[in-house]
Amino acid sequence: MIKASDFGSKFIWGVATAAAQIEGTASQYGKGPSIWDTFTAKNGKIKKNHKLDPACDFYHRYAEDVALVKLLGFTVFRFSIAWSRILPNGRGEVNQEGIRFYHNLIDECLSNGITPYITLYHWDLPQALEDEGGWTSFSINAAFNAFVSICAMEYGDKVKNWIVLNEPFGYTSLGYMLGVHAPGKTGLSNFFPAVLHTALAQAEGGKILRAEISKANIGTTFSCSEIIPYTQSDSDLLAAKRVDTLMNRLFIEPTQGMGFPTANWDVLEKFQIEYGTWRLQERMKFDFDFIGLQNYFPLVVKYNAFIPVIQAWEVKAKSRKKPHTAMGWEINADSFYNIIKQFAAYPNVKNIMITENGAAYHDKISNGNVVDAERIAYFELYLQALLKAKKEGINITGYMAWTLMDNFEWAEGFNARFGLVHTDFHTLKRTIKYSGYWWQEFLKV
């Protein structure tokens, strides 16, 4: 049986969350609206029209939840700061109640022996900035930099571990190209400027943290998936290459000083020329102390001429009769191992942390218990793959499970349960699942 000590005594074990998914109090205590507050208020955007507030009411229950982190045995708690709680209008006047809230949360972690890892941007852009164009507007960069500075100066004495962005491909593609996440924009004319400003924010955020905080440990995160061609035909191989470029390479390569991976793809070459991105190569570069990888599943792709731009189509796990989670995501720990190796091959990636990994299932409470054996099996498999990669010499220094408790899963609303702790969304009662107890045992030895 795999155990935490197999990874060595210095390995970091944490559990991850994000502000918008758990906090609630969306329009209280001086917080300004975020794009997710606006998006969820519209009918038909979120499964079953679930509304964001009160989510898990973490704002009021943070002490109880930090106690859960401790009880489960994790020594790291990853959470994000809601930008519009600090700056209700995205820039300018600071909301002191918001500042105080995160001080209290940080202090609660520290007094319980838990190290905070703070994500600066986990998708909840202040609506006031979206009104100016959000990530598509060049004005976003100055606003983001100012927000980073405020957080660094305010919390930098207490918090040394920082994550600049959460999954830049996630929010630029889902929010600015496909329109299924906030702010619901579509098309390449939104996607490309959002990509550019995001790549700048990622590096500039890192540079500000470096300048403002002594001994900071600075990272950023990337969603990643091994891309597997459906067949070895030339067209499927090309489709797989394109998907890999977008999903895995688009945001890491600028940090490495390589610019955007535009070669041999006319669409991206055009983007590069239109926005003159090669001139910004230096600004998009930053030597991160760690690279956060977030992996859940591989993607099997097939050529399809009818899909605009990418000409690729996902062949779902279900139709391939592969094991999958409640999200329909394939369970495939070898692909976790393979994608870690792919990222570790960049010469400047010195240190990898898994900043998210986990699984959603249709959990049910019965007699006060949540017997989520499938989630336990998922973690066992994925941790074995991680250990294999580590033993082969890849510098993997930590792992964070997604997520502490069932929460607001974006467009899925409260319908997808990823937590180690069950949340009753009527009473907000927390119940530790069997997987939570499994982690407790795993971390003891």
Would you please indicate which residues are annotated as catalytic (active-site) residues?
167, 356
Taking the alpha carbons of 34, 35, 36, 40 in that order, is the dihedral positive or negative?
Answer: positive
User: Smallest distance from the beta carbon of 264 to ligand NOJ, in angstroms?
Assistant: 29
User: Smallest distance from the beta carbon of 356 to ligand NOJ, in angstroms?
Assistant: 5
CB-hemisphere CA count at 13 Å for 412?
16
Candidates 133, 198, 204, 134; CA nearest to 166 is 198
User: Smallest distance from the beta carbon of 44 to ligand NOJ, in angstroms?
Assistant: 20
Is 166 an interacting residue with respect to ligand NOJ (CB under 6 A)?
A: yes
Residue 22, phi then psi, degrees to nearest 5: -130, -30
Which span (53-61, 95-103, 162-170, 426-434) binds ligand NOJ, by CB under 6 A?
162-170
Show Cβ contacts of residue 130 under 8 Å, excluding neighbours closer than 6 positions: 35, 38, 183
User: Smallest distance from the beta carbon of 390 to ligand NOJ, in angstroms?
Assistant: 22
User: Smallest distance from the beta carbon of 415 to ligand NOJ, in angstroms?
Assistant: 12
Pairing of strands 161-165, 227-229: unpaired
23, 37, 154, 167: residue in contact with ligand NOJ (rule CB under 6 A): 167
Q: Cα(259)–Cα(244) distance, rounded to whole angstroms?
A: 16
**Residue (265 or 402) nearer to ligand NOJ, CB:** 402
Give buried/exposed letters for 81-103 (b at 16+ CB in 10 A, else e). bbbbbbbbbbbeeebeebbebbe
| DSSP code for 27 | T
**Residue (259 or 436) nearer to ligand NOJ, CB:** 436
**Residue (192 or 296) nearer to ligand NOJ, CB:** 296
Q: CB–CB of 43/34 below 8 Å?
A: no
Q: How many residues does the chain have?
A: 445
Is 299 an interacting residue with respect to ligand NOJ (CB under 6 A)?
A: no
**Residue (166 or 248) nearer to ligand NOJ, CB:** 166
**Residue (213 or 317) nearer to ligand NOJ, CB:** 317
Q: At what angle do helices 168-176 and 188-212 cross, to 10 degrees?
A: 150
Is 124 an interacting residue with respect to ligand NOJ (CB under 6 A)?
A: no
Q: How many CB atoms lie within 10 A of CB 146?
A: 15
Which span (38-46, 148-156, 163-171, 333-341) binds ligand NOJ, by CB under 6 A?
163-171
169, 409, 422, 435: residue in contact with ligand NOJ (rule CB under 6 A): 409
Which span (144-152, 165-173, 263-271, 341-349) binds ligand NOJ, by CB under 6 A?
165-173
- What DSSP string runs through 257-297? T-----TT-HHHHHHHHHHTGGGGTTTT----SEEEEE---
Binding to ligand NOJ, residues 5-24 (CB under 6 A): 18, 21
By three-state DSSP, how is residue 244 classified?
A: helix
User: Smallest distance from the beta carbon of 76 to ligand NOJ, in angstroms?
Assistant: 16
Which span (97-105, 166-174, 183-191, 309-317) binds ligand NOJ, by CB under 6 A?
166-174
Residue 242 C-alpha from the chain's centroid:
22
**Residue (32 or 358) nearer to ligand NOJ, CB:** 358
User: Smallest distance from the beta carbon of 167 to ligand NOJ, in angstroms?
Assistant: 5
121, 144, 402, 414: residue in contact with ligand NOJ (rule CB under 6 A): 402
Pairing of strands 312-314, 299-303: antiparallel
Q: What are the structure tokens assigned to 360, written together?
A: 């959603």
**Residue (230 or 329) nearer to ligand NOJ, CB:** 329
| DSSP code for 32 | P
**Residue (165 or 370) nearer to ligand NOJ, CB:** 165
Which residue has tokens 């106690």?
67
Q: What are the structure tokens assigned to 119, written together?
A: 């994500």
User: Smallest distance from the beta carbon of 328 to ligand NOJ, in angstroms?
Assistant: 12
Question: In this structure, what is the dihedral angle of CA atoms 438, 439, 441, 445, given to the nearest 10 degrees?
Answer: 140
User: Smallest distance from the beta carbon of 405 to ligand NOJ, in angstroms?
Assistant: 12
**Residue (225 or 338) nearer to ligand NOJ, CB:** 225
Q: What are the structure tokens assigned to 85, written together?
A: 């709680």
23, 108, 356, 363: residue in contact with ligand NOJ (rule CB under 6 A): 356
Q: Cα(308)–Cα(305) distance, rounded to whole angstroms?
A: 7
Contact residues for ligand NOJ, defined by CB under 6 A: 18, 21, 166-167, 170, 294, 356, 402, 409, 418
